[in-house]
Structure 1
C-alpha cells in the first residue's frame, strides 16, 4: 500500500532511522508535534509498512565478523525451479547478510561476513559451494568500508 508522506512524516522517519530507541516524548519534541499526534503518525507509518521494525546495529569487529566479501554467483539455469531452490537455501546461511537477484553478468550478488579469510574459506567450502544450481562464483574482499548507512533518504 502506498502512503503519502509529508514533511513531518519525513522528519519522523529520518529521526527514527538515526535514533530508533528515542522515546515518543523526545521524538514529538524533535519533530515539533504533540506527543499524541506523533504517536498516531508513527503508528500509521508502522501499519502502512513504511516502518518495518526496529533493530540494534552491531559492531562486526567486536563480534569477530569484520571481513566482508561480495560474492557474485552465476547459476546453471534460469528456470523457476533453479532460482527458487537457490533462494530457499541461501536464506538459511546466517553469514549471508544480503542476497540480490541481479541483472548483468551475475545472477546473484551476496554480501557475506566472516571472521577472516580462513573463516570465509570455510563458509565458501561448507555452505556457498553447496548451494543448488551454482555454476560459477567470484569473490571480492572488501578492503575498507568507505561509507555505510542503513538510513534511506526521506
Structure 2
C-alpha cells in the first residue's frame, strides 16, 4: 500500500491539477524543490497510482457537441449480466462523458455531450434505448457549467 502524500506531494498534485503541462522545472519551482527530487516525487506519485494519467480538456461546443445532458437511468434488474451489458454499452458510446453507479431513486447518472436537441434525440433512439435492461430514464439539459474540474487534492487530515 502506498504511503499517503505529504505536504510537498500535495502541492505537486495541486499544481498538476491546475496545469498538467507544466515542465518539471516549472513544477519544481512552484513547489519549492530542485528538479531532480521533484521528478522523483512525480514518478513515485504516478507509480503509486495517485496520478492516473494526463489529458487535454477540450471545448466540446467548438467540436460540435453543444449540449451537455444529465441522464438518470433505472435498470429493470440488478443482476450481474444486466450491469455488465449496461457498463460495456456506456463505455462504447463516444457521447458518454461520465457514468456513475448511484444510490437513491436511479441506478446510474450518465453525462453525455450531444449536438443540440436533435443530436440528443438521435442518441436516445439509436444508442441509449437500444441498450437492453433499461426500465426508465430522465434527462436534464445543462444550461451553463459553473465549475468543472477533474480531480481534487483533499486537505491533509
TM-score class, shorter-chain normalisation, is: over 0.9
Q: Secondary structure at the match of 2:30?
A: helix
1:15 positional shift: 0.5
1:89 is matched with: 89
1:148 positional shift: 1.4
- For residues 129 and 144 of structure 1, the distance between their equivalents in structure 2, rounded to whole angstroms, comes to 26
- For residues 9 and 66 of structure 2, the distance between their equivalents in structure 1, rounded to whole angstroms, comes to 35
1:31 is matched with: 31
- For residues 22 and 31 of structure 1, the distance between their equivalents in structure 2, rounded to whole angstroms, comes to 12
Q: TM-score, normalised by structure 1?
A: 0.96
Moved over 6 A (4+): none
The answer to whether the 8 Å contact 1:72/1:110 transfers is: yes
Structure 2: unaligned runs, 5 residues or longer: none
- For residues 102 and 74 of structure 2, the distance between their equivalents in structure 1, rounded to whole angstroms, comes to 10
- Does residue 141 of structure 1 match 2:151? no
The answer to whether the 8 Å contact 2:71/2:111 transfers is: yes
Moved more, 143-152 or 76-85: 143-152
- State the number of aligned residues: 154
Q: Secondary structure at the match of 2:92?
A: coil
Q: TM-score, normalised by structure 2?
A: 0.94
Q: How does 1:4-153 map to 2 (within 5 A)?
A: 4-153=4-153
The answer to whether the 8 Å contact 1:77/1:133 transfers is: yes
Structure 1: unaligned runs, 5 residues or longer: none
The answer to whether the 8 Å contact 1:89/1:132 transfers is: no
* CA RMSD, 1 decimal: 1.1
The answer to whether the 8 Å contact 2:71/2:109 transfers is: yes
